[in-house]
Chain A
Amino acid sequence: MLLRAILGFIGAVFALVLLISMISGVATYVKSPPAPLASEEFHKLPRPLHLASDGAFGKFDKRQLQRGFQVYSEVCSACHSLKLVSFRDLKGLGYDDAEIKKIASDWKTQVPSINPDTGEEATRKALPSDTFPPPFPNEIAARAANNNALPPDLSLITKAREGGAAYVYSLLTGFQNQPAELVKKFPDAKTPPNLHYNPYFANLNIAMPPPLTTDGQVQYEDGTKPTVDQMAKDVAAFLVWTAEPNLESRHAAGMAVVIFLLIGTILGYLAYHQVWDEAKRTVRPTGPLDPANQAKTRRAKAKAGVAG
């Protein structure tokens, strides 16, 4: 009893403090409502993007991945690293060993190493077993070259952003002039000189200048027309692969496992029913409605002379 009183008191105290917090919050909201933010009103959700790898049955379109890799190599890799991907992983794009060896040794940035004779720091050509060497050796160098902004590593970017590949695609194709009504309504949110307006970016103004500006920026080897839209789609597809190189095995294994478990569940359910039907048949409790007991009741009533 005492325990319940103490606990009840504690509960009432918490409720009271919450009530005070709520009233205070509401009062503040009414007295000085929070100023609307430009990003709340003008931020756009990603445009839908349909890739071959979408869905439970999705598979990579290797030609698209190769085109996307070409866009990455020729445009993005100037600033963005791909540190978690090894050159040998490019086998998943359909390249063979010789091509991979060439891509690695031709890569514009070399791998840090040591001069075998003098022991001084040096660089060497990349091998297939290396990961993509980053364009800048460290964060400070990266910022120094990019107006104090740090271009993020792209290995996991489609898993690291809400919206995934659709976000990357929308961002790349979303650069535009800041709408006049935004400047009128939120004069403080005018795009500063070193930033670029992009409504798909959470803060609306991104440090990255539009990387894909003209059709034909990259010449595709398979003849696909390299419009800005196409290049953005291709590089987004490539970045889905860098983030999830095992996507196809995952889907294939998943299908097998799900079907197996579905059959297993059904088999298990039937076996369970069989086991329990035996219980209901043979271990049946008997109550007043059981015919044997009803007969007993009738006999008892007859003996007692009670009408039934």
Chain B
Amino acid sequence: MSFSWARPYEPKRPLMRWIDERLPLPRLVYGAVGGGYPVPRNLNYWWNFGVAAGLFLTIQIITGIVLAMHYDASVTGAFDSVNQLIMRDVNAGWLLRYAHMNGASFFFIVVYIHIFRGLYYGSYKAPREMVWMLGLVIYLLMMATAFMGYVLPWGQMSYWGAQVITGFFSAFPGIGEPLRVWLLGGYAPDEAALTRFFSLHYLLPFVIAGVVILHIWALHIPGSSNPTGVDVKDERDTLPFHPFYTAKDGWFSAAILLVYAIVTYFAPNYLGHPDNYIPANPLSTPAEIVPEWYFWPFYAILRSFTVDFVLPAKLWGVLAMFSSILLLFFLPWIDKSPVRSGSYRPVFKRFFWLLVIDVLILGWAGGGAPTPMRNVISQLAAAYYFLHFLVILPLVSAFETPLPLPRSISDSVLHGEEAESAPAGSRPRRGKAATALAE
């Protein structure tokens, strides 16, 4: 990368030199997360969530591998292997199962915050478009992994969730139904579907890990962005990742783990649905079929298309649901404002918060039964979602007047961004000496 002042790797201990000469892995680690990777000095806590996501991926992989030692991937044995063997008889089995169950939820919480950080601070803009798109690929893989994982306990929601989601594919005319049958290996979720979901659920997290490596690699080419969105200009703008950001990530990860531990140990079923403690019954549909909370906004978008218009309503729902994620790939080209950070884009900032509220409303709407009132709210919120990204954002980014940017990161750190970005000659609000004194 372009940081000329990055400290080079100079191993002092003979062992490290020996290893480095034969396999430059220590050098790689040093340059990626050690003292050899310069990071903007002004990162705020919204930047901690990438590492937190990596932490939860690790937790999920480790607990998952260990659970797989006891899980029985068969229609007759799955429910009992989870709820009898693992939860009662396996030593610490209950802990591993609850940790894995809640780890998935926390993985999504952390990733959603990470994504919204990217949306606010323009992390998706040039030259980090690749980082953004790889991140979306990770998100799609996470959704597939989580969906398949939820099927494995073979409870009522597992089974009927699988029915509904694979049913999406039959919405496509012609190839839809054959595609659905091919995916399931049958006409309904059964032994074939369960065993293949288990195999893929075990595989995909490692694919995610690989894409995460690409994601970080792509990031380390331009280096991290920062809350001002202003590029790093010289050494004073940065700090080596170790020890400054290892310390910050360390303590914040402990805080996140604290919240995770409280939920896992004291409210382990709060984020789940009671119906999944009922063994799957293909002949009896539960009163309400809902996915896990992290899918609720998409479920709301899917259900809000209730009327046939040229295309059947079901197909509209499926297309809209997929589009809602796919449109994010185009974000770097939809929003072409040269100003990255929402801190300096007052109009954009307001619409950003509207989006956050909108997504929360969509989440609420997707989690409950489709009553008439909930439907109307769903439809309005879904409409806003598409209008936000596809109509409002391009217009805002083309026509808004951004606030003046600070000259550099260090200047914004030293004086506070407000003072530093005030136009020359004006009196900054904080009462500091006018910047007209400069140079």
- Interface membership of chain B positions 373-394, coded 1 if the CB is closer than 8 angstroms to chain A and 0 otherwise: 0011001101100110111001
Chain B residues numbered 78-128 whose CB sits less than 8 Å from any CB in chain A: 80, 83-84, 87-88, 94-95, 98
> CB-CB < 8 A to A22: which residues of B?
375-376, 379-380
- The main secondary structure of chain B at its interface with chain A is helix
Query: When chains A and B are docked, how far (Å) is the Cα of A245 from the Cα of B87?
Result: 9
Q: B287 to A202, Cβ gap below 8 A?
A: yes
Q: A12 to B254, Cβ gap below 8 A?
A: no
> CB-CB < 8 A to B313: which residues of A?
21
Query: When chains A and B are docked, how far (Å) is the Cα of A40 from the Cα of B306?
Result: 24
Q: A20 to B410, Cβ gap below 8 A?
A: no
> CB-CB < 8 A to B316: which residues of A?
14, 17
B182-190, B196-204, B241-249: which lies at the A interface? B241-249
Q: What's the least CB distance linking A180 to chain B, in Å?
A: 27
Chain B residues numbered 273-287 whose CB sits less than 8 Å from any CB in chain A: 274-275, 277-279, 287
A292 within 8 A of B: no
Among residues of B, the one whose C-beta sits closest to the C-beta of A33 is B372
B356 within 8 A of A: no
Q: What's the least CB distance linking A102 to chain B, in Å?
A: 22
A144 within 8 A of B: no
Contact of A253 among B250, B265, B275 (CB under 8 A): B265
Q: B439 to A25, Cβ gap below 8 A?
A: no
Q: B390 to A25, Cβ gap below 8 A?
A: no
Among residues of A, the one whose C-beta sits closest to the C-beta of B388 is A11
A24 within 8 A of B: yes
> CB-CB < 8 A to B274: which residues of A?
159-162
Query: When chains A and B are docked, how far (Å) is the Cα of A184 from the Cα of B174?
Result: 51
Q: What's the least CB distance linking B362 to chain A, in Å?
A: 12
Q: B278 to A14, Cβ gap below 8 A?
A: no
> CB-CB < 8 A to A12: which residues of B?
387, 390-391
Question: Most chain-A Cβ atoms within 10 A of its Cβ — which of B333, B372, B432?
Answer: B372
Q: What's the least CB distance linking A163 to chain B, in Å?
A: 9
Chain A residues numbered 281-308 whose CB sits less than 8 Å from any CB in chain B: 283-289, 294, 297
Q: How many residues of B contact A (CB 8 A)?
A: 72
Contact of B269 among A11, A153, A159, A276 (CB under 8 A): A159
B399 within 8 A of A: no
B323 within 8 A of A: yes
- Interface membership of chain A positions 21-32, coded 1 if the CB is closer than 8 angstroms to chain B and 0 otherwise: 110111001000
B163 within 8 A of A: no
> CB-CB < 8 A to A78: which residues of B?
none
- The main secondary structure of chain A at its interface with chain B is helix
Query: When chains A and B are docked, how far (Å) is the Cα of A171 from the Cα of B180?
Result: 41
Q: A288 to B254, Cβ gap below 8 A?
A: no
> CB-CB < 8 A to A26: which residues of B?
372, 376
Query: When chains A and B are docked, how far (Å) is the Cα of A284 from the Cα of B143?
Result: 44
Query: When chains A and B are docked, how far (Å) is the Cα of A25 from the Cα of B243?
Result: 58
A122 within 8 A of B: no
- Interface membership of chain B positions 278-309, coded 1 if the CB is closer than 8 angstroms to chain A and 0 otherwise: 11000000010000000000000000111101
A7 within 8 A of B: yes
Q: List 6 A-B contacts (CB under 8 A).
A: A10-B323, A34-B372, A250-B94, A250-B265, A257-B265, A276-B244
- A residues with CB within 8 A of B: 3-4, 7-8, 10-12, 14-15, 17-22, 24-26, 29, 34, 56, 83-84, 86, 89, 131, 152-153, 155-156, 159-162, 202, 243, 245-246, 249-251, 253-255, 257-258, 261-262, 264-265, 268-269, 271-272, 275-276, 279, 283-289, 294, 297
- B residues with CB within 8 A of A: 41, 80, 83-84, 87-88, 94-95, 98, 236-237, 239, 243-244, 247-248, 250-251, 254-255, 257-258, 261-262, 264-266, 268-269, 274-275, 277-279, 287, 304-307, 309, 313, 316, 320, 323, 327, 330, 333-334, 372, 375-376, 379-380, 382-383, 386-387, 389-391, 394, 410-411, 413-415, 432-433, 435, 437-439
Instruction: Given A4-B333, A276-B248, A289-B415, output 10 extra A-B contacts at Cβ < 8 Å.
Output: A12-B391, A14-B323, A84-B80, A156-B83, A250-B95, A269-B251, A271-B247, A285-B410, A288-B439, A297-B439
